[in-house]
């Protein structure tokens, strides 16, 4: 399989500190021609930018992860717009809502999300959304904000409800398949993807987390995008090469700065 893109990974995480260059090379060898590494705390932006600068296949995005908003300085629109001037900065986020472990900060998360949305509008870069156990509020806020001014968006590592998928697709947003979609018990999730337009599908690892079979339970890495993509090709009734071509075209349309 060739010309895949890992649209969401975390190459700055400590799991890769002793092997980062090798991990990136293994991805390239597996046909993953580009990777977007995500900065989850703005204080780490210089480190993440340096990784992108040092490795030609790597691009980056930044935002405040919803699980971190309570203990990090609130990102401003100006902060995010300034970061977007970097030539390899391609997206705003990840941002979003996570009520699974951090419901006590839900209102601060919502404030942060709306600030990131405004930055996405101003930069025309795609918003990268993390959503967990917050489907109703997520659908409401995205719909409200899109009506107030259009922006583009990917629902990263999508594993939420059919209702949230339909709300996102109604706004012409994208859904990203992670290793979760390849888990044997994820039949309902694969059915949601199967009913989505193919031109709204991306592929990612979210590495070092959520390794797909046959590496489940191990440290995930961008090379394993190929395993999730093979499952995705089966979901859509395509050859792996066809699925890779289509999802890469989707990536280039959404992440235009990395095209």
Question: For position 242, what pLDDT does the model report?
Answer: 96
pLDDT in tens, 12-68: 999 999 999 999 999 999 999 999 999 999 999 999 999 999 999 999 999 999 999
Q: Which residues contact 91 (CB under 8 A, 6 or more apart)?
A: 36, 61, 125, 126, 127, 128, 154, 255
Long-range CB contacts (< 8 A, 24+ apart) of 156-160?
Answer: 156/7, 156/8, 156/93, 156/94, 156/128, 156/129, 156/130, 156/204, 156/206, 157/8, 157/130, 157/204, 157/206, 157/210, 158/131, 158/189, 158/192, 158/193, 159/186, 159/189, 160/131, 160/132, 160/135
For residues 112-116, average pLDDT: 98
pLDDT in tens, 126-177: 999 999 999 999 999 999 999 999 999 999 999 999 999 999 999 999 999 9
Question: For position 90, what pLDDT does the model report?
Answer: 98
Which structural domain, as residue segments, surrounds residue 13?
Answer: 4-258
For residues 110-131, average pLDDT: 98
Does the pLDDT at position 228 exceed 90? yes
Task: Report how far residue 115's alpha carbon sits from residue 151's, in angstroms, rounded to the nearest whole number.
Answer: 13
Does the pLDDT at position 191 exceed 70? yes
Does the pLDDT at position 2 exceed 90? no
Residue bearing the bigger pLDDT, 3 or 195: 195
Q: Quick one: CA dihedral 12, 202, 193, 135, positive or negative?
A: positive
Question: For position 30, what pLDDT does the model report?
Answer: 95
The pTM (predicted TM-score) of the whole model is 0.97
Does the pLDDT at position 1 exceed 80? no
Does the pLDDT at position 194 exceed 90? yes
Question: Count of CB atoms within 10 A of residue 242's CB?
Answer: 13
CATH number of the domain encompassing residue 60: 3.20.20.140
Neighbouring-strand partners of residue 38: 61
Instruction: Provide the percentage of residues in the chain whose pLDDT is more than 90.
Output: 99
Q: How many domains does one find in the chain? A: 1
Mean pLDDT value across the chain: 97
pLDDT in tens, 57-106: 999 999 999 999 999 999 999 999 999 999 999 999 999 999 999 999 99
């Amino acid at each position: 399989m060739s010309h895949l893109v890992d649209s969401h990974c975390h190459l700055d995480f400590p799991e890769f500190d002793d092997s980062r260059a090798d991990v990136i090379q293994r991805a390239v060898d597996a046909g993953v021609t580009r990777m977007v590494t995500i900065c989850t705390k703005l204080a780490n932006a210089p480190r993440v930018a340096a990784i992108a600068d040092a490795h030609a296949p790597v691009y980056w995005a930044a935002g405040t992860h919803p699980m971190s908003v309570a203990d990090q300085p609130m990102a401003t629109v100006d902060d995010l717009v300034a970061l977007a001037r970097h030539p390899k900065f391609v997206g705003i986020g990840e941002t979003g809502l996570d009520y699974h472990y951090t419901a006590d900060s839900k209102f601060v998360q919502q404030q942060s999300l709306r600030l990131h949305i405004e930055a996405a509008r101003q930069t025309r870069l795609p918003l990268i959304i993390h959503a967990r156990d917050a489907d109703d509020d997520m659908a409401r806020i995205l719909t409200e904000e899109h009506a107030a001014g259009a922006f583009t968006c990917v629902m990263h590592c999508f594993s939420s409800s059919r209702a949230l998928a339909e709300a996102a697709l109604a706004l012409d947003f994208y859904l990203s398949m992670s290793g979760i979609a390849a888990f044997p018990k994820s039949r309902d999730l694969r059915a949601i993807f199967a009913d989505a337009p193919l031109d709204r599908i991306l592929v990612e690892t979210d590495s070092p987390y959520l390794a797909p079979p046959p590496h489940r339970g191990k440290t995930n890495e961008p090379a394993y995008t190929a395993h999730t993509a093979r499952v995705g090709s089966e979901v859509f009734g395509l050859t792996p090469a066809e699925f890779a071509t289509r999802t890469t075209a989707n990536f280039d349309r959404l992440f235009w700065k990395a095209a």
